[in-house]
Structure 1
Amino acid sequence: MGLETVIKDIMDVAQAKVSEIDAEADAEASRILEDAKQSAKEIKGKRLAKAEDEIQRMRRQELSSANLEVKRTMLNARKEVLEKAYNQAFNEIAGLSADKQETFLKNIIESHESKGSRIYSNKESEDMVKKLSSIEYAGNIDCVGGVVIENEDGSIRLDYTYEGILDSVYEQNLKQTSDILFG
């Protein structure tokens, strides 16, 4: 065997070894590249899922905030309507004619004067209350109308002023009134 043949054999073996190493390197590079692509897909998927979750959370938060604002606005509107109804009722009571006031006071006094020994009213109703009541007239109070009846030692005061009666009726029937007005 000649030297050239030996060199050619060595070169062929070396060339085969280089091709084999190149093939292994290409396979390793392809595997690394595929792993990197797969890892990038996973990272991208996780980030997309996280972004979707964040968008959903923000959407729920905004929706909840909007619903709360709508409820607050509706409650304020309802409150205004109820206050308007209260004020209208108050104005109606304050504007009662003298005949109706006398009838109203007569009913209150007849029903409740036995529970006290003194009676109070506003200045405008003083003469009418003195005429209708058999208990001591004790003076004037600041009210639109009605009376306050007090026991002997002043420890019990029964408020039958128009404001007191209206406030009591309003508070006791607030839910029912709201249900009627707003369903």
Structure 2
Amino acid sequence: MSLDTVVEDIREEAHARAEDIRAEGETRAEEIESAAQEDADEIVADAEADVDREIEQLREQRLSSAKLEAKQQRLEARRDVLTEVREAVEDELAALEGDTREELTHDLLEAATVEFDESDDVAVYGRSDDAELLESILADYDGYEYAGDYDCLGGVVVESEASRVRVNNTFDSVLEDVWEDNLQEISNRLFEQ
């Protein structure tokens, strides 16, 4: 073998070895690039999923907040309507006149009398506009006397120092009892669902 042949063989071997190294390098570079692309795709997918979750959470929070606000507004509107109805009833009670007012006042006084002994001196208070009506009703009751004004829509407040009893039979107190006992039914009728 000549020196040229040996040099040529070494050169070819080195060239083949260089080709193998280059091919391995390219393969390795492709593997690294592919792995990096997979990692990048995974990172992008995770980021998109995170963003989608955050968007869904924000949407749920806003929806929940909007529902709560709407519910509060409905409750406030219902409260306002119930207040208006109550005020209208109070106005109607205050405006009662004639026989109806006299009959209701008499019935409320009569209901209060069961709390007192016949020997008691009983003071009766009522609305200032009803003073004359109360005095005429009290003419039929021994020991009962009109004692002055009481801020109310009508009816009577009856008390006796001897028995230490005070009975509030005003239109206001009766309305309060009826209102509280029937508020759910009133609300259901006004806001049938």
User: Given the two structures, how large is their TM-score scaled by the length of structure 1?
Assistant: 0.93
Name the counterpart of 2:119. Answer: none
CA distances 1:88-135 after superposition (whole Å, capped 9, x unpaired): 111111111132211111111122222143321122222322332322
Matching residue of 1:181: 190
| Deviation of the 1:154 alpha carbon | 7.5
- In structure 1, C-alpha distance between the alignment counterparts of 2:125 and 2:25, rounded to whole Å: 109
Distance across 1 between alignment mates of 2:58 and 2:165: 58
Residues matched between the structures, number:
183
Deviating more after overlay: 131-140 vs 14-23: 131-140
Shift of the 156–53 alpha-carbon distance from structure 1 to 2, 3 Å rule, reads: farther
After TM superposition, give the deviation of residue 136 of structure 1 in Å.
3.3
Q: Does 1:158 align with 2:161?
A: no
Unaligned runs of 5+ in 1: none
Distance (whole Å) between structure 2 residues aligned to residue 70 and residue 80 of structure 1: 15
Contact 2:90–2:153 (8 Å) recurs in 1: no
Report 1:29-178 matches (<5 A).
29-116=29-116, 117-133=122-138, 134=141, 135-152=144-161, 155-178=164-187
User: What's the C-alpha RMSD, in Å, of the aligned pairs?
Assistant: 1.6
Q: Describe the SS at the equivalent of 1:30.
A: helix
For structure 2, list consecutive stretches of 5 or more residues without a partner in the other structure.
Answer: 117-121
Whole-Å separation in 2 of the counterparts to 1:173 and 1:7: 114
Mapped partners of 1:52, 1:34: distance in 2: 26
Q: Which moved more, 1:100-109 or 1:121-130?
A: 121-130
Any idea what the Cα deviations from partners look like across 1:11-70, whole Å, max 9, x if unmatched?
A: 000001100100110111011001101101111111111111101100100100110111
More off after superposition, 161-170 vs 129-138: 129-138
Residues in 2 aligned to 1:155 and 1:26: alpha-carbon distance in whole angstroms: 109
Corresponding residue SS for 1:158: strand
Rounded Cα–Cα distance in structure 1 between residues aligned with 2:165 and 2:37:
88
1:5 and 1:155, CA in 2 relative to 1: closer, same or farther beyond 3 A? farther
Report the Cα distance in structure 2 between the residues aligned to 1:11 and 1:171, rounded to whole angstroms. 109
Bigger shift: residues 154-163 or 9-18? 154-163
Three-state SS of the structure 1 residue aligned to 2:114 is helix
In structure 2, give the amino acid aligned to 1:72: Q
> Which one-letter code corresponds to 1:119 in the other structure?
V
> Partner amino acid for 1:120?
Y
C-alpha spacing 1:55/1:101, structure 2 compared with 1 (3 Å): same
Q: Percent identity?
A: 34
1:155 Cα offset (Å):
4.6
